[in-house]
Amino acid sequence: MIYLKGKTILLTGGSRGIGRACALMMGKAGADIAITYLSNAKAADNVVNDLTAEGRKAIALSGDLSREETAEMIFKQCRERLSPPSVVVVNAGIWKRAPIDTITAEQLRETMDINLSSAFYICRVAASQMIKRGSGNIILISSTAGQRGEAFHSHYAATKGAMIAMAKSLAAELGPHGIRTNVVAPGWVDTDMCKGILDDPVQRQKIIDDIPLRRVASPEDVAGAVLFLASDLSRHINGEVINVNGGSVLCG
């Protein structure tokens, strides 16, 4: 059993999908949880209610993470209402189709701002606080798209590849301060984000046929890897990418 009792975890994009599964799983392991959300207050409140029912302290913090000042505000509220986060999970993001020959500057900017700039802002504040304490743990949620690319989603793949490069850089930079930085890279996951494609029986079967384990991951499959990285069992793992894709993308 993994125990996270005594830890406060700040998780971005925690109201649904992978984020929700991570919040609930880490809460059951004993952690107090602060989740962020952009607009779906009801879904965020449901996560908080589920966590408090388990006896955990939990809060939901609203804010646009693509705005630089939001990161400072989120950490301040987490610190004041719970405690300074010892683990930060960077999960918030979007996935929208945009062929390279028609992608607009606005589409590119939106994905870059939400997926990548927000990750930098969160990691910057996390690092500044964790360096002072001499310990910390940062986990970024990337994607197989960041490793092999993805047709019609080059802007998304670019942000996810950049997150991997950023994590490796932070692992080297922050490691001497007792701060670990790692990545979880999911493949296809049965969430609202992928609903349009996975609800198509033909498309779903094609995807399953490309996965050696012959199933699409659940959000809990990804949350298990995050839980491991959040725990002391992974205390000597730094700068690594844990792939959760059923073997569909095999990276050394």
List active site positions: 143, 156, 160
Kindly give, in sequence order, each residue whose CB lies less than 8 Å from that of residue 251, ignoring residues fewer than 6 positions away.
Answer: 147, 241, 243
Q: How many C-alpha atoms does 17 have within 13 Å on its Cβ side?
A: 19
Q: Which of 14, 143, 172 is nearest to 87 (CA)?
A: 14
CA distance 189 to 179: 29
Cβ 122 vs Cβ 170: under 8 Å: no
